[in-house]
C-alpha cells in the first residue's frame, strides 16, 4: 500500500521528467522561425524547436514560417503562422524556384 504514497509509476507524468521540472524551449506569446518537417494525422504541420514539437495548422512540409506559440503543454505546443514565405522575411533569402 505504500507504493502509491512513495511515487510509483505515472504519478508525476512527463515520462520520468517530472511534472514541471522540464524546461520547455518555447513560451506562449513568443515568436519563432521554424521549418515544417512533417504532417500530423490531423493535417497540421509539425515543426520542432530544440526538439520540442510544435503543431502549426495551415502549413505544409518544407515551408519555412514564423509562428507565434499559442499553447504549451507537457509534451508539445501549438502555434499559428504570423509570417508566411511571401512575407518580408523571405525577401532577403534566395528564391525557391
* pLDDT tens, position by position, 50-73: 999 999 999 999 999 999 999 999
Q: 14-56, pLDDT tens digit by residue?
A: 444 445 557 899 999 999 999 999 999 999 999 999 999 999 9
Taking the CB of residue 26, how many other CB atoms lie within 10 A of it? 21
- Is 23-84 a CATH 2.40.50.140 domain? yes
Domain boundaries, the chain: 23-84
pTM > 0.85: yes or no: no
Residue 83's pLDDT is what?
A: 83
Amino acid at each position: 500500500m505504500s507504493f502509491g504514497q512513495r511515487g510509483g509509476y505515472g504519478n508525476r507524468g512527463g515520462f520520468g521528467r517530472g511534472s514541471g521540472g522540464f524546461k520547455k524551449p518555447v513560451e506562449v506569446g513568443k515568436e519563432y522561425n521554424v521549418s515544417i518537417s512533417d504532417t500530423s494525422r490531423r493535417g497540421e504541420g509539425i515543426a520542432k524547436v530544440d526538439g520540442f514539437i510544435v503543431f502549426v495548422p495551415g502549413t505544409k512540409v518544407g515551408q519555412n514560417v514564423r509562428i507565434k506559440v499559442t499553447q504549451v503543454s507537457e509534451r508539445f505546443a501549438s502555434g499559428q503562422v504570423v509570417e508566411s514565405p511571401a512575407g518580408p522575411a523571405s525577401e532577403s533569402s534566395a528564391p525557391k524556384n
